[in-house]
């Protein structure tokens, strides 16, 4: 019998647990502690409220303590921080932040959903009052007030993750000049370096100034201005700075109570989301999860998993015994007009796990249109698909304008079901001209993957073609002559694909032919002709367009 | 060794076969016969060209005979009709429609993709020159010319399937008054009667006059006007009529050659898409396929399957031995601002197969928002999900405005993989506010399905609630009092869900409580409170909104 459940944290994971728990158990006493002033707010909406897309502050609140009481009979205690857990005697100590008073509350079950906290490294000058992090409602109010009351023209965003990018866009929407500084060689860690170049290009087009491979060494004041000083010496004049360089899990409470935590401070849970203590569960940003694709332990702080974990824990508390099977990190972000999405493992992850391209995994890269080309508004997306040598799908990254979220969700669904590229090509998806093509973009990724896997198409990647042995290979451009004006790869010979059958004798059979076209289809067709005529041929996947974008 | 392959039909299935075949076999002689003037045209785009959304006629042609020759070295013969097949001696007879000459062409393999033909029943007056079917380019040109040259104001569309509906919309886009006549009690056969009511409502709002349960008895002329006379006597003045009452497979060629065909004239093929003759394959609208969900034989004339079957046949001709695993009928159509989509089996199909609601299958009906409610533009969609009593997903129907195609594709992917409602609720889909919610609409359908399956939520449907024993039940409206102004179910008692715990004693424990709210969530929460307090309670799924829309 469950009599009393305490929940630490009143937002994504915590409030979800509370609501579900009440639905499955009308009688339990449920107390939800939240150290902040607000519960159930839309963390993910905060940048858009700052930018003005979300107009009403009220829209950010999905629940209030009063409404949670009325609907779910939950005792919500805001500004109440759980400061310690006594797991032996099953009680917590709570500090009422309004009064400073500390009190005890016993439990039968305790659920931890304390979330995470933005990292604020000890960079000189970081405590200035025009430097902000964005994590909760008070942060949002502070940023918004600063923007509304000061004459802010130049903003520097530090960190090119989800939040940094969303903030860059929202600051731009407010008409500000925006710098984005990122320590790595790319923004948006969920996608690989090559795909990230599409984002960099788009952001640059919008006028965002990107500073990659560059950390902040200090924040300095001069003539009433703050300057962000970068490691390479660049000084960025900034009326305001947004810090979003990463987060760390709020695992101290658990750790101090003697619960198992990992190196990064994340709370360790079993497949039922139970901590090392039998009465304590944990969910959300603060927990270590299993990578659904590769089985390793990882931390994936996202709202979808937090919400679903909350529901599972509620079920488990009432005895339903439901497993959480892992997180694959499906994610999406709007980057101005672009949509950037990923699911499963990217190449960086595969490589970190010691997997080798061509030996352990292969890549298909296609650029199909979002819907039927003859129906207005069709626009290409780039799909990078990683699969193992048996065809099992490991991950995907998609960047484009329309229908990107749809395709990543379809692939995420396949990954969840252990699907292969053969499943992908067979998928029967909804087709009418405004929505897709008779062969959907994901089918295309599947077809191309199959061709790669069964050897019908040998491929060369953007970072391989320049390294090929120039003595023993020919670079063959199969685009129409006029397309050469858009640029070409140095040293390429041009034979348009439609003339290839007639002019094939111009090519030396002893050399390897590295074929390319604009996006890869004609190159593929040419490579088919060549190989069947006894040539060794490889097709540059992604074509010249992708090559140019990545290699520049 | 394959030397010579003939293909009958030069559009979706035929051209796809030809292109793939060349890619996998550079040396075969490939001849593609098309009796019409055009190949590779966008059948699915024709209504939108007529309506003006697609502006250029040229956009409708994905390939031309010349381009197919240049790129794929395919001998395309338009205006050449294959009139007979001699399968013993492996040749076809072809009539050159330009000269009337008949000639023979031998084959090693023959591929049939003859498509289907619109039905034109012998209704009196059907041959008038202002009555059109829409199937190919000449039809399109004729309709467009008629519209452009005559002063057309009133159009009657006969048939409420995909094409009828698309034509109604496109005629409306041209500023015409549109009647739509349909013999059945609903338009859009892929969805069930209840879901179709959402379409009827939307079309009526747009000013389309719907005549359901009504066939055409004749077309009559009076004072220079054509009148469509309906079975109930209604006379619809019409400057123009579009007939789209169904199609029949072009199976005669196969039948006359002694190949196995089914009752409806469809060509019978095995799982390799081979006909009853070892050298002859068939694809597309003309073939009988296996229903992927229930395993029965059926006909599903859609472009996605036709294109994919073409690719499979090409593979099989060169010896790859690829199976076609069946069609589930995933489809989508734009109906003005609505998107209507379906996949798998609907209730009508399940019932036709003898399956009974509650015994053999269950239904979840949810109406979640297209993306996070706090981000502008979020708008609800209605998801009807059919699943068996083990949780296996059988089919889904979704109607809404934004993101409907995404959700149907995700569910189609799950069905393809044999997924269950448990998989559905666990799916980790891409979430950021502009795209979805932390619990995606399909997760919601999964949660609700689970609650139904494990008995946490007993349900009552729109067509059951009025039949319940009034003596022994109470209809309980748990919406807020002001919502009653939007209408209510006769005889309902109102206790807002937030007051239910306090006022529960007002309800008689001996009676069954039939709870409803606006869309079903509060009704569900109320039903959870009630059942845990010892009441028998059922929740009206879809809530009052759906009930009102269907029952009117
Ligand atoms: C600006 C922003 C944008 C985001 N955008 C997206 C997005 O688009 N998609 C996506 O999937 N995810 C997004 N996220 C991430 C997502 O919001 C989190 O993954 C999710 O909220 C984690 O849920 P949680 O319950 O673990 O933590 P939270 O939702 O952060 O809740 C934890 C709560 O616990 C409270 N707490 C901590 N310790 C204690 C204590 N000792 N006592 C009492 N209370 C305590 C904290 O005050 C906090 O309110 C975004 C986050 C932010 C900040
Ligand atoms: C207006 C319209 C809208 C549509 N919208 C959609 C949609 O949104 N989504 C969808 O999935 N599907 C849609 N379809 C259906 C889709 O176009 C068909 O399912 C698909 O084209 C079938 O391919 P097929 O190769 O079997 O037949 P077709 O593409 O019709 O090709 C068959 C060809 O064979 C030729 N032929 C027949 N007999 C002979 C012979 N004896 N000799 C030589 N040639 C012959 C015919 O002239 C015809 O051109 C639509 C169809 C139409 C007409
Ligand atoms: C607001 C909040 C408390 C809601 O939790 P919740 O009540 O579990 O979630 P919802 O309101 O979406 O309702 C889902 C429930 O309704 C049910 N439901 C949904 N539609 C239904 C319908 N039409 N008929 C019947 N039941 C329905 C679902 O089955 C589910 O119930 P279950 O979990 O018992 O199966 C929680 O999500 C929260 O605090 N969110 C804000 C914080 C956050 O998530 N931040 C990160 C994202 S910005
Ligand atoms: C035009 C038509 C002949 C095209 O057939 P197709 O060449 O097979 O199809 P596509 O042009 O889409 O190309 C697909 C091929 O390109 C390959 N491909 C796609 N993108 C690629 C890329 N970026 N790099 C390499 N290869 C790529 C695919 O793998 C596939 O090849 P495969 O089948 O050998 O594996 C045929 O679809 C047709 O006639 N359509 C019009 C009729 C019709 O379909 N009507 C109904 C819908 S309106």
pLDDT per residue over A255-268, tens digit each?
A: 999 999 999 999 99
Residue B395 near residue B293, CB atoms below 8 Å: yes
Q: Where are the beta strands (DSSP E) in B291-371?
A: 297-298, 331-335, 338-344, 361-366
CA-based end-to-end distance of chain A: 65
Count other Cβ atoms within 10 Å, centred on residue B96. Answer: 13
Among all residues of chain B, which has the CA nearest to that of A375? B54
On chain B, the residues whose CB falls within 8 A of the CB of A533 are 26
Q: What is the mean pLDDT of residues A299-311?
A: 98
Closest ligand to C-alpha of residue B341 is: 2
Phi-psi region of B418 (alpha: psi -120 to 50; beta: other; left: phi over 0): left
On chain B, the residues whose CB falls within 8 A of the CB of A329 are 428
Q: What is the mean pLDDT of residues A287-314?
A: 98
In this predicted structure, the answer to whether residue B224 has a pLDDT above a threshold of 80 is no
Measure B231 CA to nearest chain A CA, in Å.
32
Give the integer Cα–Cα distance in Å for B72 and B30. Answer: 9
- According to the model, what pLDDT value does residue A2 have? 72
On chain B, the residues whose CB falls within 8 A of the CB of A419 are 413, 417
B249 Cα–ligand 2 center, Å: 10
Contact across the interface for A54 and B409, Cβ inside 8 Å: no
Tell how many helices (H) and how many strands (E) occur in chain B.
Answer: 15, 30
B167 Cα–ligand 2 center, Å: 17
Q: What is the mean pLDDT of residues B354-372?
A: 98
Please state the separation of Cα A37 from the chain's center in Å.
29
CA A212, A218, A220, A226 dihedral sign is positive
Residue with the smallest CA separation from ligand 1 atom 27 is A115
On chain B, the residues whose CB falls within 8 A of the CB of A48 are 375, 433
**pLDDT (tens digit per residue) in B314-334:** 999 999 999 999 999 999 999
Measure A374 CA to nearest chain B CA, in Å.
5
Tokens (6 digits) for B41: 């045209």
Contact across the interface for A71 and B525, Cβ inside 8 Å: yes
Q: What is the mean pLDDT of residues B32-42?
A: 98
- Quick check: CB of A398 below 6 Å from ligand 1? no
Task: Give the pLDDT band (50/70/90) at residue B2.
Answer: confident
- According to the model, what pLDDT value does residue A1 have? 66
A10 Cα–ligand 3 center, Å: 14
Q: Spell out which residues line ligand 2, taking CB within 6 angstroms.
A: A 431-432; B 8-14, 33-36, 43-44, 46-47, 81-82, 113-115, 134-135, 162-163, 250, 253, 284-286, 301-304, 306
In this predicted structure, the answer to whether residue B189 has a pLDDT above a threshold of 90 is yes
Residue A333 near residue A36, CB atoms below 8 Å: no
- According to the model, what pLDDT value does residue B1 have? 66
Measure A235 CA to nearest chain B CA, in Å.
33
Task: Tell me how long chain A is.
Answer: 552
- Residues 6 or more apart in contact with residue A182 via CB below 8 angstroms: A159, A160, A164, A210, A211, A212, A213, A214
Which H or E element spans position A538? strand A536-540
- According to the model, what pLDDT value does residue B222 have? 87
Quick check: B82 contacting A, CB < 8 Å? no
Among all residues of chain B, which has the CA nearest to that of A336? B434
Mutate to test the pocket of ligand 1, among A6, A8, A32, A43 (most ligand atoms within 8 A of CB): A43
Backbone φ and ψ of A391, nearest 5°: 100, -5
What is the overall mean pLDDT for chain B? 97
On chain A, the residues whose CB falls within 8 A of the CB of B425 are 308
The shortest CB-CB distance from A412 to any of B405, B429, B497 is to B429
Contact across the interface for B44 and A432, Cβ inside 8 Å: yes
Adjacency order of strands within the sheet including A331-335:
A331-335, A338-344, A393-400, A382-388, A361-366
Backbone φ and ψ of A50, nearest 5°: -65, -40
- According to the model, what pLDDT value does residue A194 have? 98
Residue with the smallest CA separation from ligand 1 atom 25 is A13
- Pairing type for strands B297-298 and B289-290 reads antiparallel
Quick check: B53 contacting A, CB < 8 Å? yes
Pairs of CB atoms within 8 A across A/B: 242
Window 507-536 of A: residues touching B by CB (8 A cutoff) are 524-525, 528-529, 532-533
In this predicted structure, the answer to whether residue B225 has a pLDDT above a threshold of 90 is no
Q: What is the DSSP string of A384-404?
A: EEEEETT-BEEEEEEEESSSH
Mutate to test the pocket of ligand 2, among B285, B313, B343 (most ligand atoms within 8 A of CB): B285
Give the integer Cα–Cα distance in Å for A534 and A537. Answer: 9
Which H or E element spans position B149? helix B137-149
Give alpha helix (H) positions in B418-520. Answer: 421-426, 441-453, 497-503
**pLDDT (tens digit per residue) in B243-291:** 999 999 999 999 999 999 999 999 999 999 999 999 999 999 999 999 9
- According to the model, what pLDDT value does residue B373 have? 97
Give the integer Cα–Cα distance in Å for A237 and A177. Answer: 11
Give the integer Cα–Cα distance in Å for A365 and A378. Answer: 19
Tokens (6 digits) for B282: 């068939």
Task: Give the pLDDT band (50/70/90) at residue A229.
Answer: very high
Give the integer Cα–Cα distance in Å for B92 and A549. Answer: 51
Contact across the interface for A432 and B308, Cβ inside 8 Å: no
Q: What is the DSSP string of B503-516?
A: HGGGS-TTSEEEEE
Residue with the smallest CA separation from ligand 4 atom 5 is B16
- According to the model, what pLDDT value does residue A25 have? 97
The shortest CB-CB distance from B417 to any of A70, A332, A423 is to A423
Q: What is the mean pLDDT of residues B516-521?
A: 98
Window 308-327 of A: residues touching B by CB (8 A cutoff) are 308, 311, 325, 327
Which of A178, A130, A182 shows the shortest CA–CA distance to A160? A182
Task: Give the pLDDT band (50/70/90) at residue B552.
Answer: confident
- Residues 6 or more apart in contact with residue A219 via CB below 8 angstroms: A123, A124, A125, A126, A128, A131, A226, A227, A228, A229, A241
Contact across the interface for B332 and A408, Cβ inside 8 Å: no
Give the integer Cα–Cα distance in Å for B312 and B302. Answer: 16
Helix (H, G, I), strand (E, B) or coil at B379: coil
Q: What is the mean pLDDT of residues B199-207?
A: 97
Give the integer Cα–Cα distance in Å for B344 and B330. Answer: 7
Measure B217 CA to nearest chain A CA, in Å.
32
Give the integer Cα–Cα distance in Å for A212 and A47. Answer: 22
Measure A27 CA to nearest chain B CA, in Å.
8
- Catalytic machinery residues of B: 44
Tokens (6 digits) for B333: 């159509």
**pLDDT (tens digit per residue) in A493-535:** 999 999 999 999 999 999 999 999 999 999 999 999 999 999 9
Task: Tell me how long chain B is.
Answer: 552
Residue B40 near residue B58, CB atoms below 8 Å: no
Contact across the interface for A330 and B435, Cβ inside 8 Å: no
Give the integer Cα–Cα distance in Å for B540 and B547. Answer: 8
- Residues 6 or more apart in contact with residue A139 via CB below 8 angstroms: A46, A132, A133
On chain B, the residues whose CB falls within 8 A of the CB of A480 are none
HEC assignment per residue over A291-323: ECCCCCEECCCCHHHHHHHHHHHHHHHCCCCCC
Contact across the interface for B376 and A54, Cβ inside 8 Å: yes
Task: Give the pLDDT band (50/70/90) at residue B214.
Answer: very high
Quick check: A372 contacting B, CB < 8 Å? yes
Give alpha helix (H) positions in B174-265. Answer: 193-205, 252-256
Q: What is the mean pLDDT of residues B362-388?
A: 98
Which of A272, A432, A306, A377 shows the shortest CA–CA distance to B190? A432
Which H or E element spans position B236? strand B235-238
* Separation in Å, CA B211 to CA A389, A529, B157, B519: 56, 56, 10, 29
Window 406-425 of B: residues touching A by CB (8 A cutoff) are 406, 408-410, 412-414, 416-419, 423, 425
Is A228 exposed, middle or buried (CB count within 10 Å of its CB: 0-12, 13-18, 19+)?
buried
- pTM equals 0.98
- Quick check: CB of A306 below 6 Å from ligand 1? yes
Give the integer Cα–Cα distance in Å for B357 and B387. Answer: 10
Closest ligand to C-alpha of residue A518 is: 4
What is the overall mean pLDDT for chain A? 97
Return the C-alpha torsion angle A91, A96, A99, A101, nearest 10: 20
User: Is the predicted ipTM greater than 0.85, yes or no?
Assistant: yes
Is B220 exposed, middle or buried (CB count within 10 Å of its CB: 0-12, 13-18, 19+)?
middle
Tokens (6 digits) for B184: 């059945």
Quick check: B401 contacting A, CB < 8 Å? no
| Active-site residue identified among A24, A42, A44, A126 | A44
Among all residues of chain B, which has the CA nearest to that of A533? B26
Quick check: A11 contacting B, CB < 8 Å? no
On chain A, the residues whose CB falls within 8 A of the CB of B310 are none
Contact across the interface for A375 and B302, Cβ inside 8 Å: no
In this predicted structure, the answer to whether residue B525 has a pLDDT above a threshold of 70 is yes
Window 326-365 of B: residues touching A by CB (8 A cutoff) are 327-334, 339, 341, 343
Contact across the interface for A429 and B435, Cβ inside 8 Å: no
| % residues pLDDT > 70 (chain A) | 100
Give the integer Cα–Cα distance in Å for B515 and B511. Answer: 12
- Residues 6 or more apart in contact with residue A408 via CB below 8 angstroms: A330, A332, A341, A342, A343, A396, A398, B430
CA B409, B410, B411, B415 dihedral sign is positive
Contact across the interface for B330 and A438, Cβ inside 8 Å: no
């Amino acid at each position: 019998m469950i009599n009393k459940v305490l929940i630490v944290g009143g937002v994504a994971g915590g409030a979800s647990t509370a609501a579900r728990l009440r639905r499955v158990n009308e009688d339990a006493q449920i107390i939800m502690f939240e150290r902040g002033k607000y519960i159930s707010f839309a963390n993910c909406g905060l940048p858009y409220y700052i930018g003005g897309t979300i107009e009403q502050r009220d829209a950010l609140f999905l629940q209030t303590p009063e409404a949670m009481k009325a609907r779910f009979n939950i005792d919500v205690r805001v500004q109440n921080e759980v400061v310690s857990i006594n797991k032996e005697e099953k009680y917590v100590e709570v500090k009422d932040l309004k009064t400073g008073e500390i009190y005890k509350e016993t439990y039968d079950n305790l659920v931890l959903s304390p979330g995470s906290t933005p990292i604020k490294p000890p960079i000189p000058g970081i405590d200035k009052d025009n430097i902000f992090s964005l994590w909760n409602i008070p942060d949002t109010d502070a940023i918004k007030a600063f923007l509304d009351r000061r004459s802010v023209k130049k903003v520097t965003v530090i960190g090119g993750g989800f939040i940094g990018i969303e903030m860059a866009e929202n600051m731009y929407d407010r008409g500000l000049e925006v710098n984005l500084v990122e320590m790595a060689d790319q923004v948006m860690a969920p996608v690989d370096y090559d795909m990230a170049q599409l984002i960099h290009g788009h952001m640059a087009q919008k006028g965002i100034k990107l500073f990659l491979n560059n950390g902040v060494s200090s924040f300095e004041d001069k003539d009433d201005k703050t300057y962000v000083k970068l490691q390479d010496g660049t000084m960025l004049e900034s009326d305001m700075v947004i810090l979003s360089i990463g987060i760390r899990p709020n695992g101290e409470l658990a750790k101090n109570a003697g619960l198992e935590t990992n190196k990064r401070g994340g709370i360790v849970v079993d497949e039922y989301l139970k901590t090392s203590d039998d009465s304590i569960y944990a969910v959300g940003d603060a927990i270590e999860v299993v990578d659904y694709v590769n089985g390793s332990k990882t931390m994936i702080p996202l709202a979808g998993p937090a919400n679903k974990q909350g529901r599972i824990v509620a079920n488990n508390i009432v005895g339903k015994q439901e497993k959480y099977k892992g997180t694959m990190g499906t994610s999406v972000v709007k980057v101005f007009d672009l949509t950037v999405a990923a699911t499963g493992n990217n190449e960086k992850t595969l490589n970190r796990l010691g997997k080798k391209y061509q030996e352990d995994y292969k890549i298909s890269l296609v650029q199909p249109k979002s819907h039927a080309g003859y129906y207005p508004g069709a626009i290409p997306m780039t799909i990078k698909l990683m699969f193992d040598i048996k065809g099992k799908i490991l991950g995907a990254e998609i960047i484009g304008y329309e229908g990107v979220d749809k395709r990543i969700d379809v692939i995420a669904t396949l990954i969840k079901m252990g699907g292969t590229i053969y499943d992908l090509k067979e998928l029967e998806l909804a087709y009418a001209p405004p929505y897709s093509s008779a062969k959907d973009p994901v089918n295309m990724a599947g077809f191309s993957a199959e061709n790669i896997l069964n050897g019908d198409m040998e491929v060369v990647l953007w970072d391989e073609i320049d390294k090929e042995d120039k003595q023993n290979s020919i670079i063959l451009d199969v685009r129409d002559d006029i397309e050469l004006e858009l640029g070409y790869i140095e040293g390429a010979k041009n034979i348009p694909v439609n003339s290839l059958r007639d002019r094939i004798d111009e090519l030396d059979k002893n050399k390897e032919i590295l074929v390319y076209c604009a996006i890869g289809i004609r190159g593929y067709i040419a490579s088919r002709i060549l190989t069947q005529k006894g040539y060794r041929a490889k097709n540059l996947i992604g074509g010249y367009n992708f090559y140019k974008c990545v290699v520049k």
